[in-house]
Structure 1
Amino acid sequence: MSSFRFPFLLLILLSSYATLAQEGNYDEAKVPPYTLPDPLRFENGKKVTTLEAWQQRRAEILELAEREMYGRMPGRPDGMRFTVFEESDTALGGKARRRQVRVSFTDDPAGPGMDLLLYVPADANEPVPVFLGLNFQGNAAIQSDPAIRLTESWQYKGHKGVVDNRMTEAARGATASRWPVEMIVERGYGVATIYCGDIDPDYDDGFKNGVQALYPDLQNRGDNFSTMAAWAWGLSRALDYLETDENVDAQKVMAFGFSRTGKAALWAGANDERFAMVISNESGAGGAALSKRIYGEDVDRLNRVFPHWFNQNFKKYSHREAALPFDQHEIIALIAPRPVYIASAEGDQGSDPRGEFLATQAASPVYELLGKKGLPAKKFPALHQPVMGTLGYHIRAGQHDVLPYDWQHFLDFADRQLK
């Protein structure tokens, strides 16, 4: 009986997810008329025409987004400490060096913190650029490497190898297809990752089990420290460590994310100008897709199904996207003049590929003002036809996932921008 129940329960779970994913509008003909805020025009209507004026406008957009969507973030904790607890110079059959680091958020090593996993090419003679991203299921899930420590943080029961919301040995390598570590190190780059649940578990727990517990003053308020802000904050804390690692070129650390972690990567890049580049793969609503288009996953679904992701003020925009004082193209624009790559999948209409493209396109004028080439595409590109300026975009065939095709172009884009 037990061998039958697991597939049956998994089928129910997937069916429920598919139903939720199909909520909202999936008909281009039903996209309502909308007007995007101009990132190069102040709230008072004054036009931005200089670098100095953009810096003021940038601060205005950042304040709006913090207050109305993401919430306030604390700075670097005073007592933060780094402890290397494992390393090897012969990882992945000798192709990589591996290092595992405990990032403690307080001066108590037994207190809250996160485990960072880092791979760099074994043959590198100098510090290398690094892709830094959050993962969904623990560091051990991104590679079958038996040396990677299993996370003790809460996990979704539906994930492979998870028992009673805890990771087991059976979860090793469960998401390795999304993290082609060997491909990346062979191209001369490093990979660093942290389990997002180490920072804040991905469920509505009243912010009691994540890093927010260290900052009670940032809760019980409209602009509270949300899960999405916490994940972005965690990426910055990981960068704090990478700045100290002799194997890493800290001037060339790229924030990477897929789906919900792609939303966090964009917000991390918008807030922390130390990130040299941002890559957001199929981040959809609350990520790279325009909210005011009201296509696919919308603001109401974000607030109902994932009430912890964004702050309490954001709840008032459910079914009221037109009232939002900003949109996601402006979050991308906050990263200017640093490079940003947005990727979509044709079979992932819930993430609104066209809305992701239009947001990238609408951020271009800011890049152009700052002397950079924005997105070199006037119309929505065909499948498998990447376009790359300082802003890049592609749409591929397939579903909501990260594939080798995506990484091939992320690496190509990084070569163009950072090498």
Structure 2
Amino acid sequence: MFESQSFRRLTHGLAAASAFFLLPFGYAVAQTSAPPPVTFTADQDHQNMMDQLGIKALRPGPSGDEKAPNHANYDESHANPYPNLPDVLTLKNGQKVTTPEMWWKQRRPEIVEDFEREVYGRLPKNLPKVTWEVKVTDREFVGFTPVIAKELVGHVDNSAYPAISVDIAMTLVVPANAQGPVPLLMMFGRTGLPNPTQPPPEDMEKINAAVKALLVDKDPSLAAIFHDYPGYSPLNALAPAFGFGAPRPAGDPPTTQQLIADGWGYALINPASIQADNGAGLTRGIIGLVNKGQPRKPEDWGALRAWSWGAARGLDYLETDPAIDSKHVGIEGVSRYGKAALVTLAFEPRFAMGLIGSSGEGGVKLNRRNFGEAVESLTGGEYYWMAGNFMKYGTSEATFGSKNPGDLPVDSHELIALCAPRLTFISYGVPAMGDAKWLDQQGSYMATVAAQPVFKLLGAHGLGVSDDYHTATMPPVNSGLLDGELAWRQHDGGHTDAPNVKYFLQWADKLIGRTPAS
């Protein structure tokens, strides 16, 4: 008996060893030789990048507190220290771009290269594949409209570095009674089913009886409590969100309800499931996975580019879903996610349109403007949104000297131009309602004006105003410029794009030749 057990243990051990040596060579290396992820604080990661770049000191960013000694500038007479932007239609050799072919083959690649190298970072060459899984499919309601809602997870292949896992969270909602594929707006934000279907009362009774039995089995003293309170139920069904209740607050319905009512679908994609919104997370998430847990190099992508990559992977799934008109998928975001939405639209040509909300520095706002949020706000603060190289432009002392925003080879008007001729809606609110002056609405409008020559060169329509960004003045609040593929509207609300959603839908429906749902 003893010899038999020993023999079995020996043969099992040999089999296990044989299985290991029969594994693909790369797998064995990944399991045995890859170091664990580096764990940095944000300050340590920031200093690491400064050391790589030879930066000894950065200029401090301005304060958003107007009473602080180092408060941001809000005086228009000092707002344009570098008044002339890089000409969006002039090649680096000085030649003017006069044809669409010159734009696509010469000027656009120049701009993309500068943005990738100096501002947002490059996509790695060894990006892993994403496999989408539908976790839940549910029939629900959004408002009074029946919908089909799906919870999805995009499993990122981590076989090259199993120490880091990335699972992209996305929710997809489409009208249940659509007669064909529907256009869709993908939105950066928290995911979740809109109105999960609840069991009927008779099933809830069975569930509660089972829960009570389990609780009593765990703690017999609970039997007396349940006896004294026979009407108590541990679990209660949620009230349906579409039912009648208290009257709605004044204003437009929620964005998701407006989209569904118009016959659109929507997707919610969670940026945090792709890449953390902090510097300490740069050795985790998709950036950390591709770098095998090691710190970034100066040209590596930052969080904005990583979020946009995740959105593109979400679009991969949408292209396989017959309920979606994949030729008319848009991207939306507000604030930092407005920056990400603009970066996504600029770099991923499969997105047909974008609603870019209150994006500020790193988004629509001109980097060269000295008004509110500044380049230095990002080089010292949210540096992880950008490529490491972007830090150079906030440098006061370094091995290469010093650089300022005027040294940037590109600016935000060129990022908007990369979206041409696709539908690009720039949205802002008003400072009085919370869309802070910090965001520089005027500078963002100037950038939009400076981008429109590219839209016109490519056969699209711009804002319908002069191309002279030096003298550009924003139109009145609630008076949008919505006649072309490039659009602008400043609403009278706060730090949100919700008041502009109905105008976005009217504008987009018209330009894609679609009749809204009745």
- What range is the shorter-chain TM-score in? 0.7 to 0.9
Partner amino acid, structure 2, of 1:416: K
Shift of 1:90: 3.2
Asked if the contact 2:367–2:412 (Cα under 8 Å) also holds between the matched residues in 1, the reply is yes
Asked if the contact 1:269–1:275 (Cα under 8 Å) also holds between the matched residues in 2, the reply is yes
Specify which of 185, 191, 206 is matched with residue 139 of structure 1. 191
Pair 1:35–1:122, CA change in 2 (3 A): same
Report the Cα distance in structure 2 between the residues aligned to 1:395 and 1:78, rounded to whole angstroms: 40
TM-score (norm 1): 0.83
Asked if the contact 1:76–1:237 (Cα under 8 Å) also holds between the matched residues in 2, the reply is no
Alignment of 1:30 with 2:73, yes or no, is: no
Corresponding residue for 2:425?
Answer: 341
Pair 1:67–1:219, CA change in 2 (3 A): farther
Corresponding residue for 1:118?
Answer: 172
- Larger gyration radius, structure 1 or structure 2: 2
Asked if the contact 1:128–1:190 (Cα under 8 Å) also holds between the matched residues in 2, the reply is yes
Shift of 1:179: 5.3
Gaps of 5+ in 1: 1-17, 149-172
Asked if the contact 1:178–1:402 (Cα under 8 Å) also holds between the matched residues in 2, the reply is no
Corresponding residue for 2:507?
Answer: 413
Shift of 1:91: 3.4
Corresponding residue for 1:400?
Answer: 495
Corresponding residue for 1:360?
Answer: 448
Alignment of 1:210 with 2:285, yes or no, is: yes
- More deviation, 345-354/239-248: 345-354
Partner amino acid, structure 2, of 1:39: V
Partner amino acid, structure 1, of 2:79: V
**4+ residue segments displaced more than 6 Å:** 107-110
Shift of 1:210: 1.2
Asked if the contact 1:77–1:105 (Cα under 8 Å) also holds between the matched residues in 2, the reply is no
Report the Cα distance in structure 1 between the residues aligned to 2:392 and 2:254, rounded to whole angstroms: 37
SS for the counterpart of 1:91 is strand
Report the Cα distance in structure 2 between the residues aligned to 1:180 and 1:382, rounded to whole angstroms: 24
Instruction: Give a deviation string over 1:318-361, Cα, whole Å, max 9, x none.
Output: 27111111110000001111110001112121111111111111
Partner amino acid, structure 1, of 2:455: Y
Corresponding residue for 1:65?
Answer: 115
Corresponding residue for 2:146?
Answer: 95
Shift of 1:89: 2.9
Report the Cα distance in structure 2 between the residues aligned to 1:182 and 1:97, rounded to whole angstroms: 14
Trace 1:122-271 onto structure 2 (pairs within 5 A). 122-135=176-189, 138-140=190-192, 145-146=195-196, 180-216=255-291, 220-271=296-347
RMSD: 2.5
Instruction: Give a deviation string over 1:52-84, Cα, whole Å, max 9, x none.
Output: 210111010000000001001136955421110
Corresponding residue for 1:284?
Answer: 360
User: Percent of pairs identical after alignment?
Assistant: 34
Shift of 1:306: 0.8
Report the Cα distance in structure 1 between the residues aligned to 2:90 and 2:420, rounded to whole angstroms: 16
Alignment of 1:43 with 2:97, yes or no, is: no
Pair 1:21–1:65, CA change in 2 (3 A): farther
Gaps of 5+ in 2: 1-61, 199-240, 242-251, 396-403, 467-472
TM-score (norm 2): 0.67
Asked if the contact 1:255–1:279 (Cα under 8 Å) also holds between the matched residues in 2, the reply is yes
Partner amino acid, structure 1, of 2:441: P
